[in-house]
Amino acid sequence: MRGKEQLVRCDNCGRTVSRSKAVVDERVMRYGTDMNNKDIKFMTRRNVTYCISCAKHKGIFERKKQQAARAASRYDT
Ligand SMILES: [Zn+2]
């Protein structure tokens, strides 16, 4: 299908955006079954999709920039 882009839904506002315009953020969620037992923890990774305005509002671009800078500095040293 030419000229048709796959649409994804913004997880924050529910707006439908094309996949190329959507911003995907990876969230790591931590769960502890018992507050006193810190050994038992579950970690799940969830991809959250935002439209551009929500990504801007949540500062995801800034965070991604920081992550990129951190990764670059890691390679330098
Ligand atoms: Zn949105």
One digit per residue, the tens of pLDDT, for the chain of length 77 reads 566 778 999 999 999 999 999 999 988 877 766 666 666 667 888 899 999 999 999 998 898 899 899 999 988 76
Phi first, then psi, for residue 20 (nearest 5°) are: -70, -25
Q: Considering its fold, how many domains does the chain have in total?
A: 1
How far does the centroid of ligand 1 lie from the alpha carbon of residue 28, in Å? Answer: 20
Give 36's contacts (C-beta < 8 A, 6+ positions apart). none
Phi first, then psi, for residue 50 (nearest 5°) are: -125, 150
- Residue 64: per-residue pLDDT: 85
Q: Is residue 62 part of a domain?
A: yes
- Residue 55: per-residue pLDDT: 94
> What's the domain range around 45?
7-76
Q: Is residue 11 part of a domain?
A: yes
- Residue 29: per-residue pLDDT: 77
CB 48 within 8 A of CB 25: yes
Q: Is residue 15 part of a domain?
A: yes
How far does the centroid of ligand 1 lie from the alpha carbon of residue 44, in Å? Answer: 23
Q: Is residue 34 part of a domain?
A: yes
3-state secondary structure (DSSP) of residue 75: helix
- The model's pTM is 0.66
Q: Is residue 33 part of a domain?
A: yes
Lookup result for tokens 């330098």 = 76
